Structure 1
């Protein structure tokens, strides 16, 4: 039995944090007639049961171990391929294999659980002392679907751990603003709860559909579960990327003219498709993290391309000017002793309401106007964090029905 001080204990715990894992094992047993199903952590040296559904008294509990050399999962780890056995006595490959005799099963199915990184985590497997009809596209498809779902969740949990670590490190370094802390609390209590709520609801519906032997309904619900898992995984990745975006990278002299030209080239297919007119004035050189400046202007221009006017000729204008001293004092509570540039990115789209101007910079923002539903809700949050990393500010100006302007203020080199 794996113990809390064992380095693999965390993997067992991770599987049991997945809200749908017990449902998956129940559905497998009910829909296939298999008496024992499990999610196993499999390494080169060990086989550990993480979660089990035991309806035949097999006797293995979560945390229980089997000798790795006595399992077929050991071979699956090496090959990366599924093993499906309807009747071991009639199977050319496994009729003489010691594992079925040792554990007393006639039918067996096991699929690899492979993480996004390509790392083999373990297997989703089921056994029964009776023969079964497992060589069925619907059964195998269900196992593939469930194995993918478990991999999605495991990847998401790993991302959540990295996000917590990054957020903790940022807070320890006093790099997280009160505003970001507010957003993190909102995300934890609201944004991330929605896909988890869907997973719980769809999982319950899946069990009910299986009880009624509604195979097509069960498959439809399994697809919805996978979609919710993907949504959850992407949100965690976005949050992890956002929390890791800091100002500790190497600064260099960056010509914003070149940055905007490069970004415009990247977006040229969308610009040409919509016949958007892009007007760019001379932009300054700043001392910045080059990759972050490219990301900043990519997000701003990509946003402008999406929402440039549809009725009028679509137009985007990028301009800049150096701010006067009194403007800097009015704009920044503690300005640096240097000059500042104001850069404006304007579109002639539908615009946004004044009440929404600050919300557009929140992570996973969704505006009631519908303007930003096409995006993932993180692009403008990245922009604000990048600008803050460079001791500047960003704000939105809106004229509903006529367009939106994003105004970036950045310090200029001495």
Structure 2
């Protein structure tokens, strides 16, 4: 087993890159490079944009473009150390998590809009976006999940190089203060795993080192103790081919080849059970992506080109009846920021909006809008690109990027109407919304 990560910053970190200990995962400091938008000002306004900002990756490029949604303009292009294959948001949507998988590192971008508690009010701030000093190195940062108060960053490791899997659990305070206090879970094998942060607890996957697959089949409970974790429990419910996880207020869910394991938390007690796949699943079909929301009792499960609703309270998986093209697949799925709507985006650009209704004491989901977001044929799509969606956490709207037209369109979830569009000077890849959840508070 590798030596555990020493997260105490070496000599508090100079401005040069320093490796701490012999671990492959390090929190280090790097000098950010910001390229100002030609002709723009510094955009440090007294008025805070409640609509927030979108941060975009560009395929194969070591840069992030930031769009101000109120002014509909590119306010900065920021250079990164490597290409961010995936981009996520931290728990309060202030920072973008830039997972540079091929370069085995994760950097963090400050979106520049946040608020602070000043006792009798929440004070909003707006500044230029910037790259943060807080930085984490690790082999294959493949999965990032965000809870209400923390982020779990899963590093897969690499069988060929002998690098083991690791999980780092941190929050926005660690990022802002360039803190070395984030706890790390070190495994004794590689793993294409998943983890969910729950306060001081971490629910993460286990893989037998002798398994023929990189996917785990067990789930364990860990508790943070300073810079490391103690294993508290291994759940006795198996989850073969585990891939995909999510959580809500009461449950954490993990997708398996034969169903979904749901883990209920009651205080510091965690119990696991499995909801088996139904006859609606084809022989080789399984849920591979799960989406959850704090205030929504059900989980969205994506299985190829089908959508299922996982209801842990009633132990049910229900196939959502809706039309989608059999030759396509779902490139994205999310809940709206308040959990009222479910949203899916097909590879062909079809945006579908769902709303829950109650029948027989159970919540079900039905289609309320289906929108063709593009008039282009899918054959015109640039290689390695796709239509993408990003949910606003200020209002019930969703943004859909179009790499063919080089634009992003804003859709109202209640009406299904396109209400705004922004032309882009770059071909968009992945994107994430950054800003103040629920909008800027009054002074």
Higher relative contact order (CA 8 A, sep 6+): 2
Considering fraction of residues, name the structure with more helix: 1
For the criterion TM > 0.5, the same-fold answer is no
> Which protein is bigger by CA-based radius of gyration?
1
TM score, norm. by length of structure 2:
0.19
Report the TM-score when normalising by structure 1: 0.20
Q: If each structure's strand is expressed as a fraction of its own residues, which one has the higher value?
A: 2
